[in-house]
Structure 1
Amino acid sequence: MTLLVTGGAGFIGSNFVLDWLAQHDEAVVNLDKLTYAGNPENLATLQGDGRHVFVRGDIGDYGLVLDLLKQYQIRAVVNFAAESHVDRSIHGPEDFIQTNVLGSFRLLEAIRAYWGGLDEAGKSGFRLLHVSTDEVYGSLEKIDPPFAETNQYQPNSPYSASKAASDHLVRAYHHTYGLPVLTTNCSNNYGPYHFPEKLIPLCIQNALAGKPLPIYGDGQQIRDWLYVKDHCSAIRRVLAAGKVGEVYNVGGWNEKANLDVVNVLCAILDELQARADGKSYAEQITYVTDRPGHDRRYAIDAGKLERELGWKPAESFETGIRKTVEWYLANQDWVQNVMSGEYQSWLDKNYAERQA
């Protein structure tokens, strides 16, 4: 029995593959296009492990995906493959349409062709778990209840719109063709191997480098923060016991404003690797022009996942964020290797135009 994991060299995907193989003997075929955010170094500890087969390729390559499904007799697909950065989607939305919409469509078509050729036992045991985001639900006011699985989709960025489209395709392939699918919608992840364009790893690296810590607008945008290894455990649980056709929201029950998150980071860094001048890293906080159409608040109600499947996060924000800072301090070689010329060009493009 073998899993096909797409996007398994990225942040969440690589954490999932590492955790899966630490707990299961079931092999993983790992398909990743290796765009800027896909990093084989995330999987370095699996070198020589016969249970891990890495294939460089695109979910939009119908023939490749179908060949892998047949060759390895895949019993489940976990789809992480996606363009996932809101700011990048604002600057260049076409990549998001190509990967998240057309790529998802072609992946579904290959899976449908493979699944249709299985015997009845194979069909009933097969699963596609599609990993999505809470951003498809839009934005909440402070007094609004958290997002439930029944919330109307109201995406507000090219990224979230492209993910909403992929969610709808997955739903349609279940209802039209009977494909056995599961969908998870997660809140903001953080943890090891997070590409340093997102808030937490970016601020850790900027703090250590003595650079400004850029805060969009007033910094009061609220997110629910989910430690990545908790997210991976939730996916494993949904894959094992989720009801076909259902959607499960995955959250950390940790609503925090961006500014508060950065202040916590600064306090931990002050403790673990103090500035040479004795001042707090918080003095590096700088307010910059807000993102266009920036959603004000996301919050996830993960109660369904707890009630029906018995899952809840193991980490609080306080324990998870400390583990994250400690990981980045201990893995500076990894960080420097991913901070390529393309990465620096992106930072210049996104932040140089935002006056402090």
Structure 2
Amino acid sequence: MSKKEPTGAAGRDGRRDALHRNLYDDLSFDELESSPTFTPEMAKEFFPVHREEPIDTMGGPVVIECAYPGWQAGGEHYPAVPDTLEEQSLGLIEGIEAGAAAVHVHPRNEERRPQWESPELLAEVLDPVFEACGEVITTSQTWMTGPHADYVTATEKLLRMGDGNKYCQGSVVLPMGLFGAGTYHSPSAITEGVRFFQENGVKPVFQLYDTHVLYDLKHRLFEKGEVEEDSHMLNLYLGAHHSQTTNNDPWSYLNVISSIYNARETIDDAIVGVNPGGRNWLPTLVLGLLAGANVVRVGIEDTYWRYPHRNEVIQDNTEIIELAVQFAELLGREVITDPDQARDFLGMEYTSPR
């Protein structure tokens, strides 16, 4: 018959003593010494924090992209939206000065309406930015509407106007099969566009609106050798337009983290960006920085409320660029502000005369 264990206080004390001995018998000091006599040597045995290896998730630098002025209605509804061409250029300049190295622009015409199918208007907005800030990175949308999206015509014109890729160093590629902004993005149109981009020094910037988009790209483009680059730019669209939703916590946070790591595990050597938008854009931005996103895109194109829990409207685009920089730096992330360094990091080139 087994010996019955003691009960009550005596039994508990006995178990504590046994545990105490098991833990500390191999140490070369008296475990019953009072805490004021604790030595550095003892502390290293009890708290071996110096043996912990660095965690590299946030170790890489980050590029901040300014998305401005965007699609939203302005006026009294949203005073942060610019009214004139001069205001558009000035807002982009201020965004660069606040810490962005890249710009994503949907220019507005004199009637204050977004007009993305005008290379001339895009150049008119961007030229003062180049003059004030140097050769910043441009990653705007260069496809035109039609029965199938036309990724070539406007891009070709921008290349001629810039004598190289000044106005279109990167260009947004929307998901295959998407009927977006009045046009169909067919596999053939996207394949044609990506081939043209690569032949002319334009970096494809693939927008991921949902998990299936990643697998479409992998099976229809990457595995077939249609994209020759070693590093693919994959931007996760989270919370804006018709993208993955981020408006239900805590699912929002799980969705952001799983989406980033799904992209990294599915596509080798991917440059993963996070485009936060909607009401929950701020936590989404921070989660992207925590999870090591290489690019974060912020700006009034995708945001309206400053905080998810307050009805406080963003007053100026620059304030959220500054917020992105502050959060990145608080988390120990290096923010790349030099466009040449950012291009090198992103695997891009600048082909226009300087």
Q: One fold, TM greater than 0.5?
A: no
Question: Larger radius of gyration, structure 1 or 2?
Answer: 2
* Bigger relative contact order, structure 1 or 2 (CA pairs below 8 A, ≥6 apart): 2
TM range (shorter): 0.3 to 0.5
Compare the two structures and name the one with the higher helix fraction: 1
Compute the TM-score of the two structures, normalised by the length of structure 1: 0.33
